[in-house]
């Protein structure tokens, strides 16, 4: 609504009446100032927005702030952020929106050039409100290239020593779990060169799904959930026809309700094997001292209800029920309040 006034004619001919606002400006060349005239200045005032940027790894504290325009394009925003951070390549920045009512970043980042303007980055459709916070990450490769890859968080359970190493693995879209196995074998130390690997998903501290090497990664796995990989023990290859591979979970009682914790695992139980023999093998697996292991209790768990076992019980006899919905609904439970002595190390060189 900023219209030029003809200074050579009267107010009435300029249609100026009581209450109108007159603005003036000094004469200047158009390339001398960012907002050289009244209309461009008020457009700037109308659209200016101070945005607080936070490093995604530190989502609770502001890192820096920039005054931008709501009409700034995606490229404008990442370029201004890159300039502030002293980066040569703005395409190595990845932005994530803020959720005000949760005070945390969204799970999904902003894809490369998928949002046209800053106003769209700050507008949240549900609920319909504006934010003034964006999160940023500095990538090691350009975002368009990264979006053509699938990024997986992999927890590799080493056989020796008994520990977990975390890796970030990138593979082209359309890759299979067999491709992931080949890539992972080049990054980890195996107990033997011909070791076979098992891939599985853990949900709520229970084994939820085992993946086949032929399955495609992007069609099956949620990249936000770590993928667990372990060597298949040699003892499983000599399993008899009536032996059984069961799921084992760690739990404790909280007001008579089961609370699962820790990392579940697979365990081969022989036909006719008593609990006393199984306890010996599990104590050896976790290297638990005798005085500590005496406090552990063992139970057959189905539908979150433990049925405690005695040393003389033949364990596989409890796993013959036919009314169990799926293999993850029955497991061997270890009740104890102390975590196993398996260490979890972050392999930062894999990022």
Per the domain annotation, does 30 fall within a domain? Answer: no
- Is 244:269 a contact under the CB 8 Å cutoff? yes
Q: Are residues 125 and 191 in the same domain?
A: no
Q: What is the pLDDT of residue 204?
A: 87
Has residue 21 been placed in a domain? no
Q: How big, in percent rounded to 5, are the helix, strand and coil portions of the chain?
A: 25, 35, 40
Q: Is residue 291 part of a domain?
A: yes
345 pLDDT more than 60 = no
CATH value at residue 216:
3.10.20.90
pLDDT tens readout for residues 179-194: 999 999 988 888 888 8
In a domain, residue 264? The reply is yes
Residues 109 and 195 in one domain: no
Report the b/e string of 106-125 with b at 16+ CB within 10 A.
eeebbebeebebbeebbebe
Residue 246 falls inside a structural domain? yes
In a domain, residue 349? The reply is no
Over 50: is that where the pLDDT of 2 sits? yes
> Is residue 243 domain-shared with residue 295, that is, in the same domain?
yes
Q: 220-258, pLDDT tens digit by residue?
A: 656 667 899 999 988 888 888 889 999 999 999 888 788
Task: Return the HEC string of 234-251.
Answer: HHHHCCCCCCEEEEEEEE
Please say if the pLDDT value at position 325 is more than 60: no
Domain termination site, one of 217, 232, 247: 232
What is the per-residue pLDDT across 19-48, written as a single tens digit (0 to 9) for each? 999 988 887 776 777 788 888 888 889 999
Tens-digit pLDDT profile for residues 140-168: 999 999 998 988 889 998 876 668 888 98
Give the global pTM: 0.69
Please check whether residue 259 lies inside any domain of the structure. yes
Q: Structural domain of residue 186, as residue ranges?
A: 147-232
């Amino acid at each position: 609504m900023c219209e030029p006034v003809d200074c050579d004619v009267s107010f009435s001919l300029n249609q100026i009446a009581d209450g109108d606002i007159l603005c003036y400006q000094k004469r200047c060349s158009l390339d001398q100032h960012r907002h050289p005239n009244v209309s461009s200045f008020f457009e700037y005032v109308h659209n200016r927005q101070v945005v607080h940027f936070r490093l995604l790894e530190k989502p609770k504290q502001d890192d820096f702030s920039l005054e931008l325009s709501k009409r700034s394009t995606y490229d404008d925003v990442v370029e201004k952020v890159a300039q502030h951070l002293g980066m040569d390549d703005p395409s190595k920045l990845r932005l994530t929106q803020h959720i005000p009512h949760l005070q945390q970043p969204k799970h999904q980042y902003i894809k490369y050039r998928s949002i046209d303007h800053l106003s769209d980055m700050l507008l949240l459709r549900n609920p319909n409100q504006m934010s003034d916070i964006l999160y940023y990450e500095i990538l090691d490769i350009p975002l368009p290239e990264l979006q053509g890859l699938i990024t997986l968080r992999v927890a590799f359970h080493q056989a020796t020593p008994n520990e977990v190493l975390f890796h970030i693995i990138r593979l082209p879209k359309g890759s299979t779990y067999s491709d992931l196995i080949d890539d992972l074998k080049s990054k980890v130390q195996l107990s033997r060169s011909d070791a076979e690997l098992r891939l599985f998903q853990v949900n709520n501290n229970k084994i939820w799904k085992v993946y086949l090497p032929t399955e495609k990664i992007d069609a099956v796995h949620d990249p936000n959930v770590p993928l667990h990989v372990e060597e298949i023990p040699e003892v499983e290859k000599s399993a008899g026809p009536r032996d059984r591979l069961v799921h084992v979970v760690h739990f404790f009682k909280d007001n008579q309700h089961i609370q699962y914790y820790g990392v579940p695992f697979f365990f081969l139980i022989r036909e006719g094997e008593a609990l006393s023999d199984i306890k010996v093998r599990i104590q050896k697996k976790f290297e638990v001292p005798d005085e500590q292991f005496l406090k552990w209790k063992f139970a057959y768990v189905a539908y979150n209800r433990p049925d405690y076992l005695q040393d003389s019980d033949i364990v596989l006899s409890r796993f013959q029920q036919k009314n169990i919905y799926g293999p993850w609904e029955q497991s061997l439970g270890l009740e104890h309040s102390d975590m196993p002595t398996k260490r979890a190390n972050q392999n930062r060189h894999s990022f």
